[in-house]
Chain A
Amino acid sequence: MENFDENWLPHLNNRPPGISAYRTDIYAMASEGWRRGLTLKFIKAPGYNISPALKYSLSDGEKEHIFSVARGDAVTPDAIRICEEKPLTYYYLKKNNVPIPEGESFNDTVDNHEIVEYGKKLRFPLVVKPTDGKSGEGVITNIKTVEELENAVKHVREELNYNNLIIERFIVGVDYRVYVIDGYVAGAYKRITANVIGDGKSSISELIKIKNIKRKNNPFIKNRSIKINQDLKDFLKSNNYSLTSIPDEGERVYVRAHGTYFKERDPVDVTDDMSDHLKQIAVDAVDAIPGLPHCNVDMLINEEEGTGYINEINSRPQISNHLFPMEGKARDIPKAIIDYYFPETVDNEKRNKYYFDLPFIYETLWSGNAKEVTVPDVNRGKIISKRFLLKGVDRTRLFDRNVRKHAILLKLNGYIKTLESGNTSIVVSGTPKRVRQFRDILNNQLKKRFKIQSITEKFSSKNLRVGFHIIQSKTDKTGEVENLKTELKKYKTQMNKINKEKKKLEDELESIKNSRSQKITKPLRKFRSKFKK
Chain B
Amino acid sequence: MTETYPFWLDKEMLKGVRRFNIDAYLVALEGWRRGLSLTFHEHNTPRTDLKLIGFDPIGKLFSLSSEYKSHFFYRTRGDKISNEAVDIGTDKELAKKYLKKAGVPIPEGFSFTSETPVEEVTESLFENQGPFVLKPTFGSLGKGVTTNIQTEEFFKESLEYIKATFDYTDFIAEQHIEGEDIRVYVVGDEIAAATKRTSANVTGDGTSSIEELISFKNESRKSNPHTVTRLIKIDDRMKNYLKKQNLQLSDVPDKDEIVYLKGESNISAGGDSVDVTDTIRSEVREVAIEAVKAIPGLNHAGVDMIVNEKDAVVIEINSTGSTALHTFPLYGESQNVAEKIIDYYFPETKDIDKSNVLYFDYPSILSQLRSNSIKRIEVTDAPVGEIYAKRYIISGKVQKVGYRIWSENNAIREGLHGYARNLKNGDVVVVVAGLDKYRVDNFKHLCYEGPRRAKVKNVREYVWTNRIKIGFEIK
Contacts and interface: CB of A to CB of B under 8 A. Distances in A.
B240 interface: no
Interface stretch (B2-10, B69-77, B114-122, B360-368): B360-368
Given A375-B374, A466-B372, A466-B373, A369 B415 contact: no
A66 to B, nearest CB: 15
B360 A369 contact: yes
B378 interface: yes
Most buried by A among B380, B415, B473: B380
B380 A368 contact: yes
A364 B379 CA distance: 10
A230 to B, nearest CB: 25
Most buried by A among B42, B58, B365, B371: B371
Nearest to A412: B372
A368 B412 contact: yes
A206 interface: no
Contacts of A50: 412
Contacts of B381: 371
Contacts of B408: 367
Contacts of A371: 378-381
Interface string B350-376: 000000000011001100101111111
Interface string A475-519: 000000000000000000000000000000000000000000000
Contact of A360 (B360, B368, B370, B372): B368
B443 interface: no
Contacts of A368: 380, 412, 417, 470-472
A11 interface: no
A274 to B, nearest CB: 41
A404 interface: yes
A41 interface: yes
B377 interface: yes
B445 interface: no
Contacts of A364: 364, 377
A468 interface: yes
B440 to A, nearest CB: 14
A250 to B, nearest CB: 45
A366 B412 contact: yes
Given A48-B415, A367-B473, A369-B471, A408 B380 contact: no
A72 interface: no
Nearest to B379: A370
Contacts of A377: 375
A39 B374 CA distance: 11
A413 B365 CA distance: 18
A375 B374 CA distance: 5
Interface string B378-389: 111100000000
A214 interface: no
Interface string B83-96: 00000000000000
B48 interface: no
A48 B375 contact: no
B413 interface: yes
Contacts of B380: 44, 48, 368-371
B412 A404 contact: no
Nearest to A466: B373
A367 B471 contact: yes
A370 B38 CA distance: 10
A222 interface: no
Contact of B376 (A357, A360, A374): A374
A407 to B, nearest CB: 8
Contacts of A306: none
B472 to A, nearest CB: 6
A48 B439 CA distance: 14
A367 B377 CA distance: 14
A376 B44 CA distance: 11
Contacts of B364: 364, 369
A372 B365 CA distance: 12
B56 interface: yes
A413 B417 contact: no
Nearest to B361: A369
A237 interface: no
B39 interface: yes
A334 interface: no
Nearest to B46: A61
A279 B36 CA distance: 51
Contact of B379 (A369, A374, A413): A369
A467 interface: yes
A49 interface: yes
Contacts of A467: 371-374
Interface string B410-422: 0011010100000
A376 B415 CA distance: 29
Given A49-B415, A376-B372, A408-B370, A370 B58 contact: no
A373 B379 CA distance: 9
A47 interface: yes
A481 to B, nearest CB: 29
B373 A360 contact: yes
Most buried by B among A39, A376, A470: A376
Contacts of B377: 364, 370, 372-374
B470 A369 contact: yes
Most buried by B among A371, A377, A465: A371
Contacts of A44: 380
Nearest to A40: B375
A369 B44 CA distance: 23
Most buried by B among A361, A369, A372, A405: A369
A44 B376 CA distance: 14
Interface in A36-64: 39, 41, 44, 47-50
B153 to A, nearest CB: 33
Contacts of A356: 373
A372 B372 contact: no
Interface string A90-127: 00000000000000000000000000000000000000
Given A376-B42, A376-B373, A376-B374, A367 B472 contact: yes
A469 B381 CA distance: 29
Nearest to B418: A368
Nearest to A366: B412
Contacts of A39: 375
Contacts of A413: 372
B373 A49 contact: no
A43 to B, nearest CB: 9
Interface in B433-475: 470-473
Contacts of B412: 48-50, 366-368
Contact of B372 (A369, A373, A468): A468
A408 B370 CA distance: 8
B322 to A, nearest CB: 22
Nearest to A415: B371
B371 A470 contact: yes
Contacts of A373: 374, 376-378
A367 B378 CA distance: 14
A374 B381 CA distance: 17
Contacts of A468: 371-372
A44 B471 CA distance: 13
B470 A376 contact: no
Nearest to A370: B377
A356 B371 CA distance: 12
A372 B376 contact: yes
16 contacts: A39-B375, A49-B413, A49-B415, A361-B374, A364-B377, A367-B473, A368-B471, A369-B471, A370-B377, A373-B374, A374-B374, A376-B373, A376-B375, A404-B371, A466-B372, A469-B371
Interface of B: 39, 42, 44, 56, 58, 360-361, 364-365, 368, 370-381, 408, 412-413, 415, 417, 470-473
Q: Which 4 residue pairs are nearest across A and B when measured between Cβ atoms?
A: A368-B471, A372-B378, A374-B376, A467-B373
Given A357-B373, A371-B380, 17 more contacts: A47-B415, A48-B380, A49-B413, A367-B473, A368-B472, A369-B365, A369-B379, A369-B471, A370-B365, A370-B378, A372-B39, A372-B378, A374-B374, A375-B374, A405-B58, A408-B371, A469-B371
